[in-house]
Amino acid sequence: MSGSGVEQSARETAALAEAVVAGGFRLTPARRVVIECLVDSGGHISADDLAARVRDAAPQVGRMTVFRTLEMLNELGLVRPIYQGTGAAHYVLMSEGSHHHLICRHCHRVIDFDTCGAGELAKRLGEEFGFEVQSHMLEVYGVCGDCRG
């Protein structure tokens, strides 16, 4: 990871750690390791793969701690599970703003994209229902070019 990538990772880890404490939870050393591994993964990872990364980084941290930490982060709105038809949820880091995926129903490939017209829809829905929209996630399902070919 480049110097700026390491700095960005450290900032994301610190922000998640602060949000955990602000949410009323203790930031234990085990939770910190889970958060660091989650951020280092790029924020798209299954619970099993995250548990393996955590085990490599800190063998004393148990698998259930990883799962409970993911549940806590989900409760705080810091991660969201996405289901790609593989049976296992993958977790994505959420931040203020939006997160978008194209998901192939055949090979389960996930393509991230930034352009999204749903932001305006979210704003209108917020205004209509008196709802403060903080972020949104858009998932579009279909068949990727490789599977169609």
Q: Tell me if 79 sits within 8 A of 92, measured CB to CB.
A: yes
Same domain? 8 vs 46: yes
Under DSSP, the state recorded for 26 is -
Banded pLDDT at 4 (limits 50, 70, 90) = low
Judgement on whether residues 108 and 47 belong to the same structural domain of the protein: no
End-to-end distance of the chain based on CA atoms, in angstroms?
35
Instruction: Say if residues 16 and 35 touch (Cβ distance below 8 Å).
Output: yes
Are 87 and 107 members of one domain?
Answer: no
Residue bearing the bigger pLDDT, 10 or 24? 24
Give the global pTM: 0.74
| Same domain flag for 144 and 85 | no
Residues 123 and 70 in one domain: no
Quick one: pLDDT at residue 3? 58
More confident residue, 9 or 143: 143
Closest by Cα among 118, 1, 99 to 43: 99
- Count of CB atoms within 10 A of residue 21's CB? 10
Same domain, 43 and 80: yes
Give tens-digit pLDDT for 66-125: 999 999 999 998 888 877 666 678 888 876 556 777 888 888 887 877 777 777 888 888
* Confidence at residue 35, expressed as pLDDT on a 0 to 100 scale: 96
Examine the domain organization and report whether 142 and 78 are in the same domain: no
Domain end marker among 67, 91, 115: 91
User: Cα 71 to the chain's mean position, in Å?
Assistant: 12
Structural domains of the chain, count: 2
How far is the C-alpha of 61 from the C-alpha of 77, rounded, in Å?
23
Q: Which CATH number covers residue 11? A: 1.10.10.10
Residue 37 lies in domain: 3-91
